[in-house]
A and B are shown apart, each in its own frame.
Chain A
């Protein structure tokens, strides 16, 4: 069963001088449930743009994107936000944790949108922190955590809503080898629970651990 279906997707950005620069051209691919897919490519090849389109943060100029059988471009902005909150999770290279909040509060952040009460939010956040091995660091602020720990908090925040698809944008980019391995194991472990993982990376070692690699070259996909 496909969780993502991308057909003939194109995207171009308008430059200041009025010139259009194509970033993605007629991109086609599918991602199955519980599958891990690595999207590789050079800097500026359109990896992040593709990730933003898949998550409904930006809309394609042409083509169709079905995420969990829903065409996000047909939805209103608020509905896309709601969809993103319930079914998609994000892990970033730079973690993007709120520095003034504790690890527990950071993890509970997406649950605020769902209108869940503080007590339940904290319980659920603590559960996922336990899963990523940071139960004893729940009261710490990001500045008091190591890079690997911050990334694990970021992963915990991504999975606290139990998403169907997990997007990871260079999740090991800021980490050493030991921590990179730990994070990759953690991420790919979610595929066992039927969560699909889309990994954007230029680390070949990380990409090889996924079930499939998509190469993005000049805005076009080549499935290897």
Chain B
């Protein structure tokens, strides 16, 4: 009884790939196949996130997914909850007047804050980290410090809860930041904390000392939709609408560019696959003729062919799996960064890394395809035909 071993047939199959000029043809074809799938399916998704991220990084300080709700008069908790029941809200933050105070935020995005208010009320909650040095314009009695430098809104919000240090009559004081107010609001306040608190009453939103609500939406598009849906109401909705529109169109443009690049490179990569398969096809023809002469039946040769196809796909799936895990993780981090960066909770990776990764993948495609293209399949065809 014949004991045909699968490993013998597998070895014959692999020898077909190695008979070509390059013993790497098999792996290059697998890589080309993998990259094509990556580009066609996965990288397009990554590209969209990368596009959003790049634009967001370029427009540093703009809060694209954020909406601020406030009211000139007191409103009920129920009224507020109606505004919070929306699928596109991914998170929200209630700003209590007794907790942290953010003053004068009539304009949300692209505004510099120059005054940082501090108080010793919450010294216990301050994280133990090095204080941020602000300057000499502080007043330890009122707890108000005028910063010598400008902060973006994003940075200003992130300062809340942190320690700052400033000088007053030659002494250095350190206090926690409990609130920030804008340059414009600063012109309206008395240089005393009490006066600042008086101004706050304009912005009290709910009777439960909720001063305002910062909504974090799932996307800039959902901000626009939210604005449209909740325009009429007692609660004011504030966002950087015009900037968001600009952001969306820029993001779309970058995403389309990345998508088009992805498709172009996937087509380019596909030529690498075709080259690899052609090389293998020619080797198969030569190999098949030899095997027939040596007594391999056509069924056995079909078995070897099927094993070859299976071999190629298994390797592609394994490598794709590994790459999907790596790139998926990358995309997830990017996606998370885009969302969390909006409230200044997370440090984002350098956009240069994203660009570098994209270019590296493109380079890999070019290298693989070029390498397999080096095998002039037409010459090989002639060679095989002559030998037959």
A positions within 8 Å CB-CB of B: 55, 57, 77-78, 81-82, 84-86, 90, 94, 96, 98-101, 105, 109-110, 112-118, 157, 161
Q: Are A84 and B4 in contact (CB under 8 A)?
A: no
Q: Check B347 for interface membership: any CB of A closer than 8 A.
A: no
Instruction: Enumerate 5 A-B pairs (CB-CB under 8 Å) in ascending A order.
Output: A85-B294, A98-B19, A110-B294, A112-B8, A113-B2
Bound-state CA distance A81–B301 (Å) is 11
Closest A residue to B294 by CB, please name it.
A110
B positions within 8 Å CB-CB of A: 1-5, 8-9, 11-12, 14-15, 18-19, 23, 286-287, 290, 292-300, 387
Q: Are A100 and B295 in contact (CB under 8 A)?
A: no
Cβ contacts under 8 Å, B11 to chain A: 101, 105
Query: Given A78-B297, A81-B297, A96–B290 Cβ distance below 8 Å?
Result: yes
Q: Are B15 and A114 in contact (CB under 8 A)?
A: no
Cβ contacts under 8 Å, B294 to chain A: 84-85, 90, 109-110, 113, 157
Bound-state CA distance A113–B301 (Å) is 11
Q: Are A82 and B297 in contact (CB under 8 A)?
A: yes
Cβ contacts under 8 Å, A78 to chain B: 297-299
Inter-chain pairs besides A81-B295, A84-B295, A101-B11, 9 sampled, C-beta below 8 Å? A81-B298, A82-B297, A85-B294, A98-B19, A100-B18, A101-B15, A110-B294, A113-B297, A118-B8
Lowest 4 CB-CB distances: which A-B pairs, in order?
A85-B295, A115-B2, A100-B18, A81-B297
Cβ contacts under 8 Å, B296 to chain A: 81, 85, 113
Q: Are B18 and A115 in contact (CB under 8 A)?
A: no
B138 vs chain A, min Cβ distance (A): 78
Name the residue in A82, A84, A100 with the highest tally of chain B Cβ atoms < 10 Å from its Cβ.
A100
Bound-state CA distance A96–B292 (Å) is 12
Contact for B15 among A86, A99, A117, A161, CB less than 8 A: A99
Q: Are A99 and B18 in contact (CB under 8 A)?
A: yes
Q: Are A98 and B299 in contact (CB under 8 A)?
A: no
